Amino acid sequence: MKILVCISKTPDTTAKIAFTDNNTKFATAGVQWIINPYDEWYALIRAIEIKEKDSSASITLVNVGGVDAEPIIRKALALGGDEAIRISHDPQESYDTAVQISAIAKDGGFDLILTGRETIDYLGSSVGGMLSEMLDLPYVAMATKLELTGKTATVTREIEGGVEICEVELPVVISCQKGMAEARIPNMRGIMAARTKPLKVVEPIAVEAMTSTLSFELPPPKAGVKLVDADNVEELVRLLHDEAKVI
């Protein structure tokens, strides 16, 4: 069983969001980077659980990004990835990212290609679907559970008001979300081992971008809080009606 896990780098959830270059670029100065939580907690940890049951399984990590992605790749190796490939490129859109990953995946003989449900920064939720199309493989999105029997995967996914359980033959691309696995932290042995695990850096292939970003905008700052005296219910009702417009 060969598993490819797509690992993206995202700003820590506490990072201050700002833009540069006339609001066309995310300001990365001082930003703390983490593994996209959907990739780490669900895609990667489920892959590790599968490997724990099947010792012949192997986990390859792939990232499209610059050298600044290497710390998060090493962390993913410390958690339990066997080897990693960094495609040395700053992708500006999901399509570019998917093209780069598909170039690695197409001759890799992977049975399972796992992605996160979405990145928590650009929220594209599109790389998995694009990959499956480029690789001509089935795609199951937003999986909450994955069980394998031989070359058959049984995948549970959330749908409005319930769940859908589907069966699919490997190879398959699956995007993962909460429910797939329990988050873990790397142990000291994993951290030491990760230092010597192979991290191959490959050049990107030329891709013509299909979209371009005109500008980013921050949401308006939150309005100040108004304190209303506990006895002044009339004023509270007036504010809720006239200003907040919620009643």
Binding residues for ligand FAD, rule: CB under 6 A, are 6-8, 36, 38-39, 62-65, 90-94, 97, 115-116, 118-119, 122-128, 213
Q: Which is nearer to ligand FAD, 51 or 128 (CB)?
A: 128
CB of 238 to ligand FAD, least distance (A): 43
CB of 86 to ligand FAD, least distance (A): 9
Q: How far apart, in whole angstroms, are the C-alpha atoms of residue 181 and residue 178?
A: 7
Distance of alpha carbon 13 from its chain centroid, rounded? 13
Q: Which is nearer to ligand FAD, 36 or 132 (CB)?
A: 36
Distance of alpha carbon 146 from its chain centroid, rounded? 17
β-bridge pairing 19-20 and 152-159: unpaired
Q: Which is nearer to ligand FAD, 127 or 135 (CB)?
A: 127
CB of 106 to ligand FAD, least distance (A): 15
Token look-up 């304190």 returns 227
**Are 156 and 145 in contact, with CB atoms under 8 Å apart?**
yes
Q: Which backbone phi and psi does 187 adopt, to 5 degrees?
A: -95, 170
- DSSP 3-state of 29: coil
Closest CA to 10 of 156, 140, 124, 106: 124
Q: Which is nearer to ligand FAD, 80 or 118 (CB)?
A: 118
CB of 94 to ligand FAD, least distance (A): 3
Token look-up 């990072």 returns 15
Closest CA to 209 of 63, 66, 64, 92: 92
CB of 176 to ligand FAD, least distance (A): 8
Q: Which is nearer to ligand FAD, 49 or 70 (CB)?
A: 70
In the chain, the amino acid numbered 127 is V
Facing residues of 168 across strands? Answer: 153
CB of 6 to ligand FAD, least distance (A): 3
Q: How far apart, in whole angstroms, are the C-alpha atoms of residue 213 and residue 14?
A: 24
Q: Which is nearer to ligand FAD, 70 or 111 (CB)?
A: 70
Q: Which is nearer to ligand FAD, 217 or 242 (CB)?
A: 217
CB of 67 to ligand FAD, least distance (A): 11
**Are 95 and 207 in contact, with CB atoms under 8 Å apart?**
yes
**Which residue of the chain is nearest ligand FAD when measured via CB?**
124
